């Protein structure tokens, strides 16, 4: 099972890297850096989790992973810099 999960995680990582590399906005940023005489290296961290779909749910029901999620002000600033909006009504902000 571990080798299957490793293979799937590797495939997902490769797919994400390919999607980012083909994105016109990413390429435009890299071109701006090249025009300024710089070479830009992009490194993304990917966290991939697996859960057994056949395992019985614990407790009375499945708990949503978002229910215990806390987002800091730095997290929000980072997402905003990527032009990703965070749902401020449901998130708990930590300073």
Question: pTM score, two decimals?
Answer: 0.46
Angle CA(57)–CA(11)–CA(80) in degrees, nearest 5?
A: 80
β-pairing, 92-94 with 70-72? parallel
Res. 64: pLDDT tops 70? no
Contact 71, 86 (CB under 8 A): yes
What pLDDT, in 10s, does the model give residues 6-44? Answer: 899 889 888 988 898 889 998 999 999 999 999 988 887
Res. 68: pLDDT tops 80? no
């Amino acid at each position: 099972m571990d080798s299957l999960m490793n293979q799937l995680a590797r495939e997902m990582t490769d797919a994400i890297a390919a999607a980012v590399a083909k994105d016109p906005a990413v390429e435009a940023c890299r071109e701006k850096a090249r025009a300024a005489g710089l070479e830009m290296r992009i490194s993304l961290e990917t966290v991939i989790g697996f859960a057994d779909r056949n395992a019985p749910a614990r407790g009375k029901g499945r708990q949503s992973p978002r229910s215990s999620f806390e987002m800091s002000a730095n997290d929000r600033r980072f997402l905003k810099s990527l032009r990703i909006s965070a749902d401020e009504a449901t998130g708990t902000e930590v300073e």
